[in-house]
Copies of this chain bind each other. A is one copy, B any other.
Amino acid sequence: MAQTKVNNGVNVDALLAAREALKGAPEAAKFTWRASCKWQNGTHSKTDVDEFFGLGQEQKHKTTTTFDADHPEIFASEDKGVTPVEFVLVGLASCLTAGVAAVAQNRGIQLRSVEAKLEGSMDIQGILGIDSDVRNGYDDIKVTFVIDADASKKDIEALVAQSQKRSAVYDIITNPTNVSVTVA
């Protein structure tokens, strides 16, 4: 079997063990991910990501990461960070890419390189309130993978399809997700 030689850096054995363990302890599978945002000035904000809850207890990333978000100068802002909608593309890109690596490991396919280009199209007549028939968000997102791996084109396409099938962010974007917004 090729599997024993393949190393994409994903510990599939640990993931499969986790899957077995969680089958008997579904409460441990309930995660809460968090972010904490502080407005700076104008459209500029800073968002911290550090703690989360899972496997029945509080967890922490190794470090706190702070993300600057802003609007670009063409929107009369200062461009002190990427736009909120670009963060969505970052999440989608990284989710599908991690999935490709994990599925490839599980299928015994050695990856040499994986690149994804994402394009999200949006008509800003929506957010500007010009035309109420135009939605605020993306009307379409295209993801194009270029993958160099020890596998046929067909097997690479199957990898990507399986990653998409198991992707949390792909699901969040393509299906409706409930969001409640309140003022404390």
For A123, the chain B residues whose CB sits under 8 A away are: 26, 29-31
For A100, the chain B residues whose CB sits under 8 A away are: 39
Known: A170-B179, A177-B141. A90 touches B67 (CB 8 A): yes
For A176, the chain B residues whose CB sits under 8 A away are: 174-176
Residues 58-100 of chain A, each 1 if its beta carbon lies under 8 Å from chain B, else 0: 0101100101011111111101011111111111111111101
Whether a CB of chain B sits under 8 angstroms from the CB of A19 is yes
Copies of chain A in the complex:
2
Known: A166-B129, A173-B173. A178 touches B118 (CB 8 A): no
Cα–Cα distance between A22 and B111 once the two chains are bound (Å): 46
> Chain A interface residue count: which class?
35 or more
Cα–Cα distance between A71 and B130 once the two chains are bound (Å): 40
Q: Which residue of B lies closest to A67 (CB)?
A: B90
Q: Contact at A137–B29, with CB atoms within 8 Å?
A: no
Of A18, A22, A73, A168, most buried by chain B (CB within 10 Å of CB) is A168
Cα–Cα distance between A45 and B97 once the two chains are bound (Å): 7
Seen from chain A, the residues whose Cβ lies within 8 Å of a Cβ on chain B are 8-11, 14-15, 18-19, 22-23, 26, 29-39, 41-45, 47, 49, 52, 54-55, 59, 61-62, 65, 67, 69-77, 79, 81-98, 100-102, 111, 113-131, 135-147, 153, 156-157, 160-161, 164, 166-184
